[in-house]
């Protein structure tokens, strides 16, 4: 495993779980996990209720963007679709609300694993909401209806919901794919990025076929045949004729027979007879979702997300086996996660994962308990760190390994972000750390409170030495009036909390 | 504990401050001398058009019958009517070679002899996957077996030429691309904001990250060092806050490179990513916008650093071209061979290089423009002629010996 910044001493598996299966320690969450133990805590996390929990709903009701409460979170697809219009004043509003809700759920949600997994799948099935008016208007429904309810469910169900979501249809162009020259965008990324993985392309990893034979990976011909199967998978946009002959304009998924390529196709060794209609695409999804190469690809990505950038083959094997053993289980993905978390490799991986900018910021809100406001200031800050939330243009999604986030710009922006979040003038955080800090007389007291309050893992010696020294600076908390003048104290504590957020120990999970 | 910590921290702090001091004290002239040591070496700027730029919509034989039959006029370079392409004399075949009018500023550079195209070039591998093709091209290899853990071609070349100055290798983006992997490249997405927002943080971060032997420790130290170098160079050579190149993100990246060239930091190589070229649908509008940005950006950048053009080579490439026949979505799917652009004061421009087999069915590779020139042949010539590279077997392993096309000249 790559050494990102491991803690100096062994840590209990509960601390790893708190870092990986949640968006970082929060005092109440840590207490709950430590009290009931990992198995019971995980059981509850793997079985979240539908919709948002009471804590999230309470917070969402308080949020305002541009002076208005969030009004589109429960809007139906037709109402969202009506905003896919360059003249609609609220055309960006559903996306802004989806972004804000992701932060609120990440910080306050009781079912943290659901948030972690929703983020994982939204990135796996990346859609750039700003590709066009239609993706902007319907991204919220993609998150809410396709991904979120299935994030711990069955992969085939998730895959089908994604393939039929309006946002994906407009992101990877399948909505306009028609006979006789099908658009290959969706079919290619379906195989390369959503299911089989690039390692199965053009004769590398052999792949088994439905007849039991093995083929040397999938080819461009398979991509083109699959693209033909998906012609007619489109959205009711007023121009497409549905199977019942109607032309509606609701934005909902429809199968449109007039543009479907009715010829017979062969792909991945599977013969698809002519005139199969919508069932052709369903058959392609069936084959892909049940494929052992898909199991391996998904298992690898999940282990990379939850264990290490370069996860040991032994834990990937276990996760892939769980995927194949539960193909028809409605909680298939939960079973894969369970297999990963209870593997010995998981317990040996503290500090092997770097927080991406979203995880860094959300974990900072959780660790500090600081009041904060979602909105464009927050979105712009995190975008400036390279994390284009819901807007990453390329279908491969944002990196889930450390290297791309640790270049000079990546490091600089994560350090500066900590100071921006604690500076009320930036319009994101509204800290009052003086009120949170137990009565203190020296900078050492303040460090001794805030370091353990914020860090998931034990601090290393260099960072401990550095933070005491930093806190003792005259311009932080070392001045004679640092604990008697309320303004000096608050400003000093803001610098201190920002500095803890900037240290190596806070960058890892 | 606090007692002991102060002592050690102070020592680290002093070490950190001393290092920053040395860098700050280093006058620009010293660094210029370092760079001047390799005066024959051009600044090499590599622009990567992410997504698969449709070369047949940028530079094409407008009167080719197969071409005309394969696409609607909106996805073609045309030879007449509104928006007709601009004539490019000295094409690779006796046809009406033209440049998409949206990229008109490139026509002037072509005519003045500073810009050349190489057509039917690309990756000698079958892949039509964006990510695999980009990975192979940036690593300078042709088979996926060589991909695991391999560094980038440009990074290997730069390392081979010895330790570069602190800001000698720059990615004008938030991340460092694969092509620079393995080199001490610095990512500077914007010159104006490449600074710590809290001055007090610098010595603290130096102490916290400085001596730690893991990924974060190394990354943190490299970042603090780059920040100190950059601030010193910028203080010694203040740059205009107005970007003369333009306002797009591509223009902003070009402006970062121009400023570094003007600041005399000893820039050796820089990379820019320009994305959005994956035009599976609605290609006409998207491609026109992107090509406009490409032409205007390159020309304005070139004008901004005109005084240094004799020591500058710009290469523009993409992971693959797009299929000859368009699809039913008003777009084009992934293809193969493509056009590369080479710009600089020592470019033998005003010509389209590369073997052109035509666009007839038998000439195509699975329906796509074939690759008649390995893209590495073009890069190898530039490294040899303009950057003083010797043996390139470590940079482009397995590249078959091929005569240089003569795209660039010495001097």
B209 part of contact set with chain A, CB < 8 Å? yes
**Other C-beta atoms within 10 Å of B133: how many?**
21
What whole-number distance in Å separates Cα of residue B332 and Cα of residue B326?
5
Give chain B's radius of gyration (CA, Å).
23
B8 part of contact set with chain A, CB < 8 Å? yes
C-alpha torsion A151→A157→A161→A163, nearest 10: 110
What the block records as the tokens of A162 is 């994604």
What whole-number distance in Å separates Cα of residue A138 and Cα of residue A84?
8
- pLDDT for res A263: 98
- Check whether B17 has a pLDDT greater than 90: no
CB contact under 8 A, B131 and A386: no
C-alpha torsion A449→A451→A454→A459, nearest 10: -150
Helices A38-46, A13-20: crossing angle, 10 deg rounding: 20
If you measure CA to CA, which chain A residue comes closest to B332?
A183
B360 part of contact set with chain A, CB < 8 Å? no
In degrees, rounded to 5, the angle at the alpha carbon of residue A262 between the alpha carbons of residues A256 and A264 is 145
- Check whether B21 has a pLDDT greater than 70: no
- Check whether A270 has a pLDDT greater than 90: no
- Check whether B169 has a pLDDT greater than 80: yes
- Strands B352-353 and B59-61 turn out to be unpaired
Of A468, A502, A503, the CB nearest to B6: A468
- pLDDT for res B32: 33
Question: Rounded to a whole number, what is the distance in angstroms from the first to the last CA of chain B?
Answer: 63
What whole-number distance in Å separates Cα of residue A96 and Cα of residue A366?
21
Backbone angles phi, psi at B370, to 5 degrees: -75, 170
- Check whether B31 has a pLDDT greater than 90: no
- The average pLDDT across A454-479 equals 95
What digits encode the pLDDT tens for the residues A365-393? 999 999 999 999 999 999 999 999 999 99
- Check whether A278 has a pLDDT greater than 50: yes
- The average pLDDT across A323-336 equals 98
Q: How far is A146 from chain B (nearest CA, A)?
A: 24
What whole-number distance in Å separates Cα of residue A278 and Cα of residue A231?
9
- Check whether B28 has a pLDDT greater than 60: no
- pLDDT for res A252: 98
> Which of B126, B225, B206, B140 lies closest to B177, judged by CA?
B140
Q: What is the enclosing helix (H) or strand (E) of B374?
A: strand B373-374
**CB contact at 8 A, A144 and A134:** no
Q: Which of the four pLDDT bands, split at 50, 70 and 90, describes residue B34?
A: very low
Of B8, B195, B198, the CB nearest to A465: B8
Residues of A in contact with B200 (CB under 8 A): 470, 473, 475-476, 495
Q: Range with the lowest mean pLDDT among A54-58, A238-242, B22-26, B380-384? A: B22-26
What digits encode the pLDDT tens for the residues B44-99? 999 999 999 999 999 999 999 999 999 999 999 999 999 999 999 999 999 999 99
- Check whether A236 has a pLDDT greater than 70: yes
- pLDDT for res B220: 97
Q: How far is A107 from chain B (nearest CA, A)?
A: 25
As a residue count, chain A comes to 509
Q: Range with the lowest mean pLDDT among A238-242, A362-366, B132-136, B238-242? A: B238-242
CB contact under 8 A, B212 and A386: no
Q: Which of the four pLDDT bands, split at 50, 70 and 90, describes residue B30?
A: very low
If you measure CA to CA, which chain B residue comes closest to A459?
B208
- pLDDT for res A209: 56
Q: How far is A88 from chain B (nearest CA, A)?
A: 21
What the block records as the tokens of A253 is 């998924």
Q: In the predicted model, what is the mean pLDDT of chain A?
A: 95
What whole-number distance in Å separates Cα of residue A24 and Cα of residue B12?
30
- Check whether B23 has a pLDDT greater than 50: no
CB contact under 8 A, A419 and B185: no
Q: Range with the lowest mean pLDDT among A6-20, B184-198, B288-302, B357-371? A: A6-20
- pLDDT for res B29: 35
Backbone angles phi, psi at B275, to 5 degrees: -105, 175
CB contact under 8 A, B327 and A394: no
CB under 8 A, 24+ apart: contacts of A326-330:
A327/A156, A327/A289, A327/A290, A328/A154, A329/A154, A330/A153, A330/A154, A330/A157
**Is the ipTM here above 0.90?**
yes
CB contact under 8 A, A177 and B327: yes
- Check whether A33 has a pLDDT greater than 50: yes
- pLDDT for res B144: 75
- Check whether A294 has a pLDDT greater than 90: yes
CB contact under 8 A, A5 and B280: no
The secondary structure of A205-252 as a DSSP string is S-EE-TTS-EESSB-HHHHHHHHHHTTTEEE--SSS--TTS----S--
Q: In the predicted model, what is the mean pLDDT of chain B?
A: 90
Q: What is the enclosing helix (H) or strand (E) of A62?
A: helix A54-62
pTM score, two decimals?
A: 0.93
CB contact under 8 A, A183 and B211: no
- The average pLDDT across A413-418 equals 98
Q: Percent of chain A beyond pLDDT 70?
A: 97
Q: How far is B66 from chain A (nearest CA, A)?
A: 17
Q: Range with the lowest mean pLDDT among A96-110, A172-186, B3-17, B201-215? A: B3-17
The residue among B163 and A480 whose pLDDT is bigger is: A480
Under 8 Å CB-to-CB from A28, ≥6 apart: which residues? none
- Strands B338-344 and B115-122 turn out to be antiparallel
B69 part of contact set with chain A, CB < 8 Å? no
In degrees, rounded to 5, the angle at the alpha carbon of residue A361 between the alpha carbons of residues A316 and A53 is 75
Backbone angles phi, psi at A214, to 5 degrees: -110, 145
Half-sphere CA count of A186, side-chain side, radius 13 A: 36
Q: Which of the four pLDDT bands, split at 50, 70 and 90, describes residue B12?
A: very low
- Check whether B409 has a pLDDT greater than 70: yes
B107 burial class (0-12, 13-18, 19+ CB within 10 angstroms)? buried
- The average pLDDT across A159-180 equals 98
If you measure CA to CA, which chain A residue comes closest to B144?
A204
The residue among B179 and B11 whose pLDDT is bigger is: B179
Where do the H-state alpha helices sit in A109-174? 112-124, 133-141, 155-163, 166-171
Q: Range with the lowest mean pLDDT among A25-39, A99-113, A493-507, B194-208? A: A25-39
CB contact under 8 A, B212 and A177: no
**Other C-beta atoms within 10 Å of A274: how many?**
10
- Check whether B310 has a pLDDT greater than 80: yes
Q: Percent of chain A beyond pLDDT 90?
A: 91
Q: Range with the lowest mean pLDDT among A3-12, A27-36, B5-14? A: B5-14
- Check whether A2 has a pLDDT greater than 80: no
Q: How far is B276 from chain A (nearest CA, A)?
A: 7
Q: Range with the lowest mean pLDDT among A26-30, A137-141, A258-262, B87-91? A: A26-30
- The average pLDDT across B315-331 equals 98
User: Among positive and negative, which fits the CA dihedral B66, B70, B73, B78?
Assistant: negative
Residues of A in contact with B171 (CB under 8 A): 407
- pLDDT for res A31: 81
Of B10, B132, B223, the CB nearest to A411: B223
Half-sphere CA count of A347, side-chain side, radius 13 A: 9
Cβ-Cβ contacts under 8 Å between A and B: the total is 201
List residues bridging with B43 in a β-sheet: B312
């Amino acid at each position: 495993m790559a050494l990102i910044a491991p803690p100096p001493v062994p840590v209990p598996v509960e601390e790893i779980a708190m870092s990986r299966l949640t968006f970082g320690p929060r005092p109440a969450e840590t207490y709950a996990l430590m009290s009931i133990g990992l198995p019971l805590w995980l059981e509850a996390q793997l079985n979240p209720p539908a919709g948002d929990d009471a804590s999230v709903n309470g917070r969402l009701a308080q949020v305002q963007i541009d002076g208005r409460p969030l009004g589109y979170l429960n809007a139906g697809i037709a109402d969202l679709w009506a905003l896919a219009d360059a003249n609609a004043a609220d055309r960006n509003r559903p996306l802004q609300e989806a972004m804000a809700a992701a932060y609120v759920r990440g910080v306050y949600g009781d079912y943290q694993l659901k948030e972690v997994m929703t983020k994982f799948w939204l990135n796996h099935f990346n859609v750039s909401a700003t590709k066009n008016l239609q993706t902007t208007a319907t991204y919220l429904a993609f998150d809410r209806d396709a991904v979120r309810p299935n994030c711990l469910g069955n992969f085939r169900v998730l895959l089908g919901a994604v393939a039929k979501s309006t946002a994906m249809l407009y992101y990877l162009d399948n909505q306009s794919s028609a006979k006789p020259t099908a658009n290959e965008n969706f079919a290619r990324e379906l195989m390369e990025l959503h299911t089989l993985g690039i390692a199965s392309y053009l004769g590398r990893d052999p792949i088994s076929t439905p007849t039991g034979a093995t083929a040397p990976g999938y080819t461009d011909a398979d991509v083109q045949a699959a693209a033909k199967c998906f012609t007619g998978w489109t959205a009711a946009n007023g121009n497409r004729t549905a199977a019942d002959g109607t032309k509606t304009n609701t934005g909902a998924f429809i199968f449109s027979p007039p543009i479907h390529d009715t010829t017979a196709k062969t792909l991945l060794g599977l013969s698809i007879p002519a005139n199969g209609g919508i069932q052709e695409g369903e058959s392609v999804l069936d084959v892909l979702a049940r494929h052992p190469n898909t199991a391996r690809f998904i298992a690898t990505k999940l282990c990379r997300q939850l264990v290490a950038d370069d996860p040991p083959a032994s834990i990937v094997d276990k996760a892939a086996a769980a995927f194949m053993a539960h193909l028809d289980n409605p909680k298939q993905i939960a079973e894969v996660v369970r297999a990963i978390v209870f593997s010995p490799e998981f317990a040996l991986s503290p500090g092997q994962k770097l927080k991406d900018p979203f995880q860094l910021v959300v974990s900072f809100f959780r660790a500090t308990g600081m009041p904060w406001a979602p909105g464009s200031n927050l979105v712009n800050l995190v975008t400036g760190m390279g994390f284009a939330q819901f807007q990453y243009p390329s279908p491969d999604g944002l990196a889930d390994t450390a290297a791309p986030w640790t270049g000079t710009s990546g490091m600089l922006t994560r350090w500066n972000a900590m100071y921006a979040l604690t500076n009320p003038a930036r319009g994101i955080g509204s800290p009052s750390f003086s009120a949170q800090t137990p009565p203190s007389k020296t900078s050492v007291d303040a460090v001794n409170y805030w370091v353990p309050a914020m860090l998931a893992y034990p601090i290393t010696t260099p960072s401990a030495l550095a933070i005491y020294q930093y806190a003792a600076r005259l311009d932080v908390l070392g001045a004679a009036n640092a604990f008697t003048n309320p303004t000096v104290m608050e400003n000093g504590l803001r610098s201190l909390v920002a500095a803890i957020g900037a240290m190596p120990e806070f960058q890892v999970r | 504990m606090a007692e002991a910590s102060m002592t050690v921290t102070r020592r680290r702090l002093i070490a950190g401050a001393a290092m920053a001091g040395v860098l700050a004290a280093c006058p620009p002239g010293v660094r210029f001398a370092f760079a001047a040591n390799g005066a024959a070496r051009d600044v090499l700027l590599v622009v990567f058009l992410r997504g698969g730029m449709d070369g047949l919509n940028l530079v094409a034989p407008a009167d080719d019958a197969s071409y005309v039959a394969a696409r609607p006029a909106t996805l073609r370079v045309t030879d007449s009517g509104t928006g007709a392409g601009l004539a490019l004399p000295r094409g690779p075949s006796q046809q009406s070679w033209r440049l998409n009018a949206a990229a008109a500023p490139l026509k002037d550079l072509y005519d003045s002899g500073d810009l050349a195209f190489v057509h039917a070039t690309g990756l000698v591998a079958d892949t039509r996957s964006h990510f695999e093709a980009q990975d192979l091209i940036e690593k300078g290899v042709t088979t996926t077996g060589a991909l695991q853990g391999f560094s980038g071609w440009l990074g290997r070349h730069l390392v081979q030429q010895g330790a570069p100055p602190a800001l000698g290798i720059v990615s004008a983006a938030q991340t460092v691309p694969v092509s620079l992997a393995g080199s001490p490249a610095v990512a500077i997405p914007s010159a104006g904001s490449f600074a710590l927002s809290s001055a007090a943080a610098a010595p603290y971060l130096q102490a916290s990250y400085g001596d730690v032997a893991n990924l974060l420790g190394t990354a943190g130290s490299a970042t603090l060092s780059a920040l100190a170098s950059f601030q010193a160079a910028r203080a010694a050579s203040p740059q205009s806050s107005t970007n003369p190149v333009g306002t797009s993100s591509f223009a902003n990246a070009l402006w970062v490179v121009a400023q570094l060239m003007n600041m005399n930091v000893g820039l050796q190589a820089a990379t820019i990513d320009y994305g959005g070229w994956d035009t599976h649908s609605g290609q006409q509008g998207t491609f026109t916008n992107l090509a406009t940005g490409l032409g205007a950006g390159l020309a304005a950048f070139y004008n901004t650093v005109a005084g240094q053009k004799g020591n500058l080579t710009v290469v523009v490439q993409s992971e693959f071209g797009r299929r000859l026949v368009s699809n039913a979505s008003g777009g084009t799917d992934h293809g193969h061979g493509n056009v590369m652009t080479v710009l600089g004061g020592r470019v033998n421009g005003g010509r389209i290089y590369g073997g052109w087999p035509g666009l007839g069915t038998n000439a195509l590779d699975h329906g796509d423009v074939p690759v008649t020139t390995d893209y590495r042949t073009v890069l190898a010539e530039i490294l040899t002629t303009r950057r003083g590279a010797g043996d390139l077997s470590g940079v482009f392993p397995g590249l078959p010996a091929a005569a240089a096309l003569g795209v660039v000249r010495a001097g």
